[in-house]
Amino acid sequence: MKRKMIAAVAMAAAIGAGATTAIAHGGASGVVKERMDSMEALGDAMKELTAMMRGQQDYGAERVRSLAATIESHGGEALTRLFPKDSLDHPSEALPAIWSDWDRFSALSDQLSTYAQALAAAADNQRPAGGAQGGMMGQGMMHGQGMSGGGMMGGGMMGGGQGPTAEMLAQMPPDGVFFHLADTCSACHQSFRKKQN
């Protein structure tokens, strides 16, 4: 679990770095430009969250809620409406699979908003000592916040591809929710964006 969390933070940083490369995307126009701008806003929000989760920036629940609200507002339909069928004009990095697997694409888009809401809900939860590296899931989740122990940890939840529910996330330390949020970004990018990070 610990290694997974570190990987998630590193990955979130890589996603954030995407926003810098994006400056090279001059020439985008119309809906492609709109969605690149929207994705960059997501990248910026994740970058600051990453810094907080890593302890490079002071943790502030209020700030986390505000960044989570930004992410939420870019997910769901706000995201999917920026992907009208076959909109692949240069320099888009989107893949045609978006439209052949629209259900999954829109599910991930909804999940982004749902998990951002869960992060806001969890912003005041107890954080594991030592920040992100402190072993988020193990202690954190079982910390007597009404999750009647046992069972769901290992296999169940990390297994099958389907993420945990918003209710489960809202009980976790914010670092844990952040992990799942970052995972949603990368799950979508892996399937629906040309490889680059």
The binding site for ligand HEC (CB under 6 A) comprises: 15, 18-19, 22, 25, 32, 35-36, 39-40, 42-43, 46, 71, 79, 92-94, 105, 108-109, 112, 184-185, 188-189, 192-193
What is the amino acid identity at position 27? G
Q: Which is nearer to ligand HEC, 148 or 196 (CB)?
A: 196
Q: Which is nearer to ligand HEC, 42 or 137 (CB)?
A: 42
CB atoms within 10 A of CB 142: 14
Minimum CB distance to ligand HEC, residue 91 (Å): 7
Report CA-CA distances (Å) from 182 to 33, 47, 53, 84, 119.
23, 10, 12, 25, 11
What is the amino acid identity at position 17? A
Minimum CB distance to ligand HEC, residue 149 (Å): 31
Minimum CB distance to ligand HEC, residue 178 (Å): 10
- Residue pointed to by tokens 């502030």: 60
Minimum CB distance to ligand HEC, residue 143 (Å): 26
Q: Which is nearer to ligand HEC, 3 or 90 (CB)?
A: 90
Minimum CB distance to ligand HEC, residue 192 (Å): 4
In whole angstroms, give the CA distance from residue 16 to residue 86. 26
Minimum CB distance to ligand HEC, residue 7 (Å): 16
Measure the N-to-C terminal CA separation of the chain; round to a whole number of Å: 22
In whole angstroms, give the CA distance from residue 141 to residue 144. 8
- Residue pointed to by tokens 């910026």: 44
In whole angstroms, give the CA distance from residue 26 to residue 100. 28
Q: Which is nearer to ligand HEC, 109 or 125 (CB)?
A: 109
Q: Which is nearer to ligand HEC, 128 or 163 (CB)?
A: 163
Residues, the chain, total?
Answer: 197
- What is the token pair recorded at 183? 């995972």
Q: Which is nearer to ligand HEC, 95 or 168 (CB)?
A: 95
